[in-house]
Amino acid sequence: MNARDYVMKTAEEKMVKHGGFGIDSLASAAKAVGSIAPLLNAGIVGGYALRQLIARLQNDTRRKAIIEDLSATDSMLKEVDRERLLEWYATIYHYAPKMSLDKVTVRELLQQFARFGRIDLQTLKTMAETEKALSQSKSSEGIKNKLF
């Protein structure tokens, strides 16, 4: 249930309970809006951060080349709106910056997102864990090279 639906449902319940749209119902509706204000604010800030991230991606020649190539050559990704594709790629970049440079991985993830029309939390978790493991293995290799 999104924030708007929650507020509307709460207001409607209060109207029925109090027999109309009186002072109590208005106060309850305002209280409901107040309780979700941080969520609404996070959505606005998150949208701004996403725009900033997309702008950064479009200025990165390696990542820009990957996304342009995939959107031009992959039959499934050709059908996806470019803005949505950029948002998905920005999400990959956010959770797994190193993996976002691997074209095969990016293709698979974007195709999965396109297939289901959304990004699922389990995939985000797996991406973050894989990125962490990659970072740790790179740092342990660096330590080994320094020691031996």
43-86 per-position pLDDT tens digit:
433 566 777 778 787 788 898 899 999 999 999 999 998 889 98
Q: Are 133 and 83 in a shared domain?
A: yes
Q: Are 42 and 111 in a shared domain?
A: no
Cβ-based neighbours of 10, under 8 Å, separated by 6 or more = 28, 29, 32
Q: Are 42 and 95 in a shared domain?
A: no
Supply the range of the domain harboring residue 109: 61-148
Q: Are 38 and 82 in a shared domain?
A: no
Q: Are 113 and 143 in a shared domain?
A: yes
Q: How far is CA 85 from the centre of its chain?
A: 11
- Taking alpha carbons only, the member of 108, 113, 105 closest to residue 86 is 113
Q: Are 42 and 65 in a shared domain?
A: no
The count of structural domains within the chain is 2
For residue 139, what pLDDT is reported? 63
Cβ-based neighbours of 83, under 8 Å, separated by 6 or more = none
